[in-house]
Chains A and B, each alone.
Chain A
Amino acid sequence: MVQELEQFDVTKDRIQVREESFLQGVKDCVPTLLGYLSIGFAAGVVEKTSGLSLMEITLMSVLLYAGSAQFIVAGMIAAHGSAASIVFTIFFVNLRHLLLSAALSPYFRHLTPLKNVLVGSLLTDETFGVAINQTAKTKRISERWMHGLNVTAYLNWIAANIAGAFFGQWITDPEKFGLDFALPAMFIGLLVLLMASRRKLAVDLVVALSAVVLVVGVSLVFSGSAGVIVATLLAATIGMVVEKWK
């Protein structure tokens, strides 16, 4: 009897250890594709209207690969900002990836440095959101699954930017079609899915509400790009403290 039970446990472990495939990562990326597509399309349109060439837009989506940052670069180029001020602003805007990358690091401990660079270089808010949801289900992230997710999102983003740049000659006002709201809607969806998948609704709500209040407060007092980082640092600390104190 005891032996049978042990055997049962072994098979159960084996099922959990099964690696999620690259293809499954591609599939799990699909729900985000429309959101990415509309944001990338809008970014392409805005970049085009700010005077960037098709070549530059392609290069930017391949190398920079960051939604909000590309909008900001286009806006600052249109406003004739200096190269140094643009680079500095983007550094601050994208500094939040430090936190995303750090939060994923426990799941990729076993990988070589080169593989971690591959995982990290295609990390975005959206792929992070999908990956963290995955950990709530399976407690781990398979490397192949992560690559499937990342590469799908990446190719879709580049294609969307190029399409936006191409059609940008005719579209003067992407806001009219609500395309700009794809980004906040995606964040709302990711936040709700994330909270639904963890069983800590009370503390999570406290953290989320604190983060919203903090980001507004900090952005009003300091510059906008510091807001998200400071709000995240403080709200996560609040969560840690409340969890302990409960």
Chain B
Amino acid sequence: MIILGTSLVTFLPRVLPLLILNRLQLPDWGIRWLNYVPIAVMAALVGQELFLEDGSLAPFPANLEVIAAIPTFLMAILSRSLLGTVLVGIVSIMVLRMFV
């Protein structure tokens, strides 16, 4: 029941814009706006993951995620490798949690 309900409310927003916007001709500003959605949504997800904890601000000096994000960002910028970035991220947080 819970599984079916959550699946349905997840399926609809995934599919409806692809179905409906295809029938409409988007105005020029609409296309330009959509062009920034990917950057905005990814950055918002990063911000949420790094700075928030159960809906409140994660306490800064104890927030190891933000510290682990630094080598992770560097790896992404220098290597442009998704796999490498994820590996560096996992190892960074694991080491930080072991020693801090």
- Interface size of A by CB at 8 A reads 100
Stretch at the interface among A27-35, A151-159, A161-169: A27-35
Check A31/B83 contact, CB under 8 A, given A116-B22, A182-B90: yes
Q: Does A215 contact B (CB under 8 A)?
A: yes
> Contact check: which of A87, A182, A244 meets B2 at CB < 8 Å?
A87
Q: Does B100 contact A (CB under 8 A)?
A: no
> Contact check: which of A60, A103, A185 meets B3 at CB < 8 Å?
A60
- Interface size of B by CB at 8 A reads 69
The CA-CA distance from A104 to B32 in the complex, in Å, is 13
B residues near A78, Cβ cutoff 8 Å: none
The answer to whether B19 touches A116, judged by C-beta atoms less than 8 angstroms apart, is yes
The answer to whether A188 touches B76, judged by C-beta atoms less than 8 angstroms apart, is yes
The answer to whether A193 touches B36, judged by C-beta atoms less than 8 angstroms apart, is no
Chain A 206-246 per-residue mask, 1 if CB under 8 angstroms from chain B, else 0: 01111111111001100110011001110111111001100
Check A236/B47 contact, CB under 8 A, given A64-B7, A121-B14, A190-B42: no
Task: Specify the chain A residue showing the minimal Cβ separation from B47.
Answer: A212
B residues near A187, Cβ cutoff 8 Å: 42, 45-46, 49
Task: Specify the chain A residue showing the minimal Cβ separation from B95.
Answer: A178
The answer to whether A212 touches B26, judged by C-beta atoms less than 8 angstroms apart, is no
Check A38/B44 contact, CB under 8 A, given A90-B9, A102-B37, A216-B57: no
Task: Specify the chain A residue showing the minimal Cβ separation from B36.
Answer: A239
Task: Specify the chain B residue showing the minimal Cβ separation from A177.
Answer: B94
Q: Does A17 contact B (CB under 8 A)?
A: no
B residues near A210, Cβ cutoff 8 Å: 40
* Listed residue (B9, B15, B43) with the most chain A CB atoms within 10 angstroms of its CB: B43
Check A189/B86 contact, CB under 8 A, given A64-B7, A105-B21: yes
Chain A 168-207 per-residue mask, 1 if CB under 8 angstroms from chain B, else 0: 0000000111111111111111111111101000011001
A interface residue numbers (CB < 8 A to B) = 30-32, 34-35, 38, 56, 59-60, 63-66, 69, 73, 77, 83, 86-87, 90-91, 94-106, 108-109, 111, 113, 116-117, 119-121, 123, 125, 128-129, 132, 175-196, 198, 203-204, 207-216, 219-220, 223-224, 227-228, 231-233, 235-240, 243-244
B interface residue numbers (CB < 8 A to A) = 1-7, 9-11, 13-19, 21-22, 26, 29, 31-52, 54-57, 65, 68-69, 72-73, 76-77, 80-83, 85-94, 97
